[in-house]
Amino acid sequence: MGALFTQVSSLAARSILRTARQPAVMISALLFPMMFFAINANGLDAASRIPGFPADSYVDFAFAFPLVQASLFGAITAGSDLARDIESGFFDRLSLTPMRPVSLLLGMLFGVIALGLVQGVVFLTVGVLFGVDVRSGFTGMVVLVGLMIFVALGFGALGATLALRTGSVEAVESSFPLFFVLIFMSSINLPRNLIEADWFRFIATINPISYLVEGIRSLVIIGWDAQALALGFGCALGIVALALAAAGTSLRTRMAR
């Protein structure tokens, strides 16, 4: 157990350092979600005038967007890093050492969690500075960061699964539109009861991302909404469990090759 901890912590430190040493990755992970948030929040400000809109300000409503999008960037980054390790032969060399391959996966996922934590704190700070009113207060912010970490872990494990299955950086990068589609085909831009097109509302309702978004959003625009939080954390944990199982299976398959 002690050996596993040492291995995981070493690889987690490597994963964190590798991300921190790539300014382009850090800038993309922090800047792009905020840029999209700023544009969307201002561009759709008029939507807050729709009767029945649940928030006074679209900025508050849209704040879940950068948090979820940031997790997506984290997943792609982590998946690409793992795929690069496979492409470069690092993964194969590692398998010849006493180090357990699961350590690489766990180390990488701790790197994802660390990035998610940084993103959550930075976005909350910037959001509050720019006038986002988090109704659930400081405790709510802590819960929000916690939920974001689960979301990042879930997406990160999906990115790892893709990397382990394909072993190709290009294939992981190509999955970006798929994740992006999942985010946009949810209740990210409007609450589900205000989505007019039936087919879109149906997709948003069966899309688990909607519940992650609504859980995060409830902490900002409502305060403490037990149902939204239960669904948000439930979906996040479900994604984490499924994605970790898929990553574990993919890891075993790759080791058997």
Partner 1 sequence: MTAQTQGGSAGGFFAVAWAVAGRQTYKYFRNPAFLAPALFPLFFFVAFAGGLTRVGSVPGFDYAAGYTAFQFVWALLQAVSMGGAFTGFSIAGDFENGFARRLMLAASNRRGIVLGYVMASIARAAMTGTLVTVLALVIGMRISGGYDVFGLIGLVLLANIAATLFGAGVAMLMRTQQAGPVIRTPIFLVLFLAPVFVPLRLLNGWLEKIASINPFTTVLEAARGFLAGQPENVLPAFGIGAALVAVFAGWSLYALRRAEKAGG
Nearer to partner 1, 5 or 130 (CB): 130
| Total residues at interface with partner 1 (CB under 8 A) | 25
- Told to check if 31 binds partner 1 by CB under 8 A, we report no
Residue 51: partners with Cβ closer than 8 Å, 6 or more residues away: none
C-alpha to C-alpha distances, 135 to 93, 131, 138, 139, 221, nearest whole angstrom? 50, 12, 9, 10, 6
Residue 210 C-beta: closest distance to partner 1, Å: 11
Q: Which residues contact 213 (CB under 8 A, 6 or more apart)?
A: 64, 65, 68, 186, 187, 188
Which residue in 2, 23, 46, 97 binds partner 1 (CB under 8 A)?
46
Which CB sits closer to partner 1, 46 or 206?
Answer: 46
State yes or no: residue 49 binds partner 1 (CB under 8 A).
Answer: yes
**Binding residue (CB under 8 A) for partner 1 from 138, 199, 206, 257:** 199
Sign of the CA dihedral running 233, 216, 8, 1: negative
Contact flag: residue 64 with partner 1 (CB under 8 A): no
Could you tell me if 148 and 219 are in contact, meaning their C-beta atoms sit under 8 angstroms apart?
no
The length of the chain is 257
- Measured from the CB atom, the residue of 174 and 227 that comes closer to partner 1 is 174
Nearest distance from residue 61's CB to partner 1, in Å?
A: 13
> Residue 205 and residue 42: Cα distance in Å, rounded?
26
137 contacts partner 1 (rule: CB under 8 A): no
| Closer residue to partner 1 (CB): 192 or 254 | 192
From residue 171 to residue 190, the character string flagging contacts with partner 1 as x (rule: CB under 8 A) and all else as - is ---x--x--xx--xx---xx
Applying CB under 8 A, does 26 fall inside the site for partner 1?
A: no
Does position 243 bind partner 1 by CB under 8 A? no
Contact between 195 and partner 1 (CB under 8 A)?
A: yes
Torsion angles phi and psi, residue 208, rounded to 5? -60, -20
Contact 86, 171 (CB under 8 A): no
Distance CA 156, CA 207 (A): 18
| Contact footprint for partner 1 (CB under 8 A) | 38-39, 42-47, 49-50, 174, 177, 180-181, 184-185, 189-190, 194-197, 199-200, 204
